[in-house]
Structure 1
Amino acid sequence: MFSQFALHERLLKAVAELNFTEPTPVQLAAIPPAVEGRDLRVTAQTGSGKTAAFVLPMLNRLMGRAQPRVRIRVLILLPTRELAQQTLREVERFSQFTFIKSGLITGGEDFKVQGAMLRKVPDVLIGTPGRLIEHLNAGTLDLKQVEMLILDEADRMLDMGFAEDLERLTSECVNRQQTLLFSATSGGNGLRDIVGKVLRDPLHLKLNLVGELNEGTRQQIITADDMAHKERLVQWLLANETYQKAIIFTNTRVQADRLYGRLVAAEVKAFVLHGDKDQKDRKLAIDRLRQGGTRVLVATDVAARGLDVDGLDLVINFDMPRSGDEYVHRIGRTGRAGGEGLAISLICHNDWNLMSSIERYLKQRFERRVIKDLKGSYQGPKNLKASGKAVGVKKKKTAAKKNATQKPKPSAKSPSKRKQPSGLISQDGLAPLKRKLPAVE
């Protein structure tokens, strides 16, 4: 029960109102030390409840008597607009019985309107690095009195090229007393550098191994001959699989638009989401998917992080993601919080090596699947097609053919004479041995 945590009664009231009963493993591990004021470095799988694991301790820190707001007290940094908007909703839900106010700063919104919001000085500021830097440069943002800094999906922010922005923003929070860093993956050297620079004597909590992610999600691959074949497979899957909502991931915006057009032409009700879409269209696409106005979303990796949609139980990788971490985040949209889901990756000849490397990274082997009505000619690399049994049959056939063409050896009693070979063949078959055969008597 959440009552075991040393949280303010108004926060516990909100938790009860939202029907949160049993804390998840990441909440059990992270909330107590965060409430005590420790810096944390937390790795926890997507959909495990890590947003509440940092929001509740953060709000608990801010609790107190209502007073005029004269400074931003908490800064939460996130990689995408969608994740920032979702986090704002979570903060507002948990703070519904308090006087705490939150604000959102992301790209795609009116800069002057955001400036007016900043002048009201929210207690909690949630934002993406790029637009926050713009406000710093314009003199409309002051972070010097921030008490608590939270970085969610820091590895993704580094992947998106925000390393310098993160360093600038964290350095602006010169008086911070606590820093929390949450992510679904362990990241690389860049993330370790950030951890070393921004965290002070952190407690490291790792609540999952990469290979154990999404235990409730079946992971399958279907081989395809080309892009057109993949498009037919997508249409078949959407028509024949049982699902409530689905996301189809592509690696490029051009491919997302192309596939979206194909689906609309086939009378599939869908929306498309990628970085070229303006904020209004991006919000509309996600709202329609959440509300059930559409069951299918075609998206780039902009939707691989932070998109939490009830009933999302099918993910299709039209293009194989370029890394194991991105694969984890994509399939993490389904099978969330112990639910069940299905993740299907469509594999052409140029996807196979990438798919194999992701299998090795996850220490898993994806289930191979064939759709009889759309079975293509490509079934994987040639040297993998023959199973051990098939190879054995081939060897037997070869031996039989060799025996059929070989002349029978004369018996010892046979009067016939045969010419002796001049020497024996060495074991490596490359040169005759000099030793002669003994004479036959």
Structure 2
Amino acid sequence: MFSQFALHERLLKALAELKFVEPTPVQAAAIPPALEGCDLRVIAQTGSGKTAAFVLPLLNRLIGDAQPRVSIRALILLPTRELAQQILKEVERFSQFTFIKSGLVTGGENFKVQAALLRKVPDILIATPGRLLEHLNAGHLELKDVEVLVLDEADRMLDMGFAEDVERLVEECLNRRQTLLFSATTGGAGMREMVAKVLHEPQHLMLNPVSELSETTRQQIITADDPAHKERLVHWLLENETYRKAIVFTNTRAQADLLYGHLVAAGHKAFVLHGEKDQKERKLAIERLKQGGARVLVATDVAARGLDVEGLDLVINFDMPHSGDEYVHRIGRTGRAGAEGLAISLICHNDWNLMSSIERYLKQRFERRVITGLKGSYQGPKNLKASGKAAGTKKKKTESKKTGAKAVPKRKPSSAGGGQGGKPSSVVSQDGMAPLRRRKPAAD
């Protein structure tokens, strides 16, 4: 029960209004030490309730009677506009019975309007590093009186090249009393360096490591011959899977636009989201998905973080992400808060090694699946299938010795892939992952 925490009665009233009763594991672990003023390094899955785990202690520190605002008292830094907007909504929900005011500063919005907002001095400023640094350099704000600094999705900020910007902003918060660093993954050497620089005698909390990723989300792979084959698989999945809302991830903006055009032409209610879209278009895409005006969002990794959409129960990786951490964030859009989800990755010959490395990183093995009628000729590296063929040949030779008959070699199956209709079946393949041998891809 949230009532077990030493939270102000106005926050408990907001929690009751929002029907928050039982804290999630990350909230139960992080809220008590955060209320005590400890610096925290918290690693937990997306959808596990990280936002409330830092927003509630933050609001509890700032809560009080109405007073003139003379300085920004808390700063929350995030990697993307979408995540920043999501956090602003959560802060406003939890602070609805308080006098605390919050403001948002991200790229894609009017610079002068943001400058006017900063002159009003919100208690809590929620921002992306690049745009906030522009305002700092323009003399629109001071951060020396910030009491609490929160770095949310800190690993992603490093991945996006914000390390120097974040360090500069951290230095500006020179009188801060508490720093909270949250992420869904452990990150690498850059993250360890950041933790050492910005946290003072922190408590380290690791909830739901990646090896226990998304217990309620089924993870499957389907092999494909080329991008055109992948498109046919996406059409089949969107027409035959049971889902309310879906995201299809691509690695490039060009591929996202191309796939989006094909889906719309086929009659799917779809929107596209990537970094070249302006802020108005990005907001519209997300709102249409949330409200049900579109069932499918085609997106690059700009949508892999901060997107919390009720009923999003299918994620398709048209392209395999380049890292295990990015895979974690993509499929974290589904299976949230204990709901069931399905994540399907489409694997061509040039995706196999990436897929295998992500399996090793997660210490998991994805379910192999074949769509009857859409099975292609590519079923994994040749040397993975060779061991099975060799075993079969050996067995035939033994049998031929017993009978005195010659072993007749089997004809190679047609590469056309076959079968008609029927329900998709799942197949679990070989043991071990051998290095990929380069082979000429089928014509695009």
Q: What's the TM-score once normalised by structure 1's chain length?
A: 0.90
Establish whether residue 394 from structure 1 lines up as the match of residue 393 from structure 2: yes
Deviation at 1:392, TM superposition (A): 3.3
| Matched residue SS, 2:182 | strand
Deviation at 1:391, TM superposition (A): 4.0
Deviation at 1:399, TM superposition (A): 4.0
Provide the aligned C-alpha RMSD in A: 1.3
Q: Distance in 2 between matches of 1:20 and 1:52?
A: 10
- Structure 1 stretches of 4+ with a deviation exceeding 6 A read none
| Matched residue SS, 1:271 | strand
Establish whether residue 57 from structure 1 lines up as the match of residue 57 from structure 2: yes
Counterpart mapping for 1:308-327 below 5 A: 308-327=308-327
| Matched residue SS, 2:220 | strand
Deviation at 1:397, TM superposition (A): 2.1
Match of residue 383 from structure 1: 383
Match of residue 240 from structure 2: 240
* AA of the residue aligned to 1:26: V
Establish whether residue 151 from structure 1 lines up as the match of residue 146 from structure 2: no
Q: Distance in 2 between matches of 1:328 and 1:42?
A: 16
Q: Distance in 2 between matches of 1:182 and 1:82?
A: 17
Q: Distance in 1 between matches of 2:290 and 2:398?
A: 63
* AA of the residue aligned to 2:150: I
Stretches of structure 1 lacking an aligned partner (at least 5 in a row) = 407-441
Please say if residues 263 and 270 of structure 2, whose CA atoms lie closer than 8 Å, have aligned partners that are also in contact.
yes
Once the two structures are superposed, residues 123-167 of structure 1 have per-residue CA deviations (whole angstroms, 9 ceiling, x without a partner) of 000000000010011111211110110000000000000000000
Q: Distance in 1 between matches of 2:216 and 2:101?
A: 37
Q: Distance in 2 between matches of 1:337 and 1:387?
A: 42
Please say if residues 250 and 256 of structure 2, whose CA atoms lie closer than 8 Å, have aligned partners that are also in contact.
yes
Q: What's the TM-score once normalised by structure 2's chain length?
A: 0.90
Counterpart mapping for 1:29-108 below 5 A: 29-108=29-108
Once the two structures are superposed, residues 205-243 of structure 1 have per-residue CA deviations (whole angstroms, 9 ceiling, x without a partner) of 001221101000000000000000000100000000000
Match of residue 440 from structure 2: none
* AA of the residue aligned to 2:127: G
Match of residue 267 from structure 1: 267
Once the two structures are superposed, residues 370-406 of structure 1 have per-residue CA deviations (whole angstroms, 9 ceiling, x without a partner) of 0011111111112222575x54331022345578599
Match of residue 164 from structure 1: 164
Deviation at 1:276, TM superposition (A): 0.3
- Number of equivalences: 405
Match of residue 3 from structure 1: 3
* AA of the residue aligned to 1:59: L
Q: Distance in 1 between matches of 2:196 and 2:138?
A: 29
Please say if residues 43 and 209 of structure 2, whose CA atoms lie closer than 8 Å, have aligned partners that are also in contact.
no
Stretches of structure 2 lacking an aligned partner (at least 5 in a row) = 407-444
Counterpart mapping for 1:113-262 below 5 A: 113-262=113-262
* AA of the residue aligned to 1:332: G
Q: Distance in 2 between matches of 1:387 and 1:263?
A: 40
Q: Distance in 2 between matches of 1:297 and 1:385?
A: 36
* AA of the residue aligned to 1:398: K
* AA of the residue aligned to 2:351: D
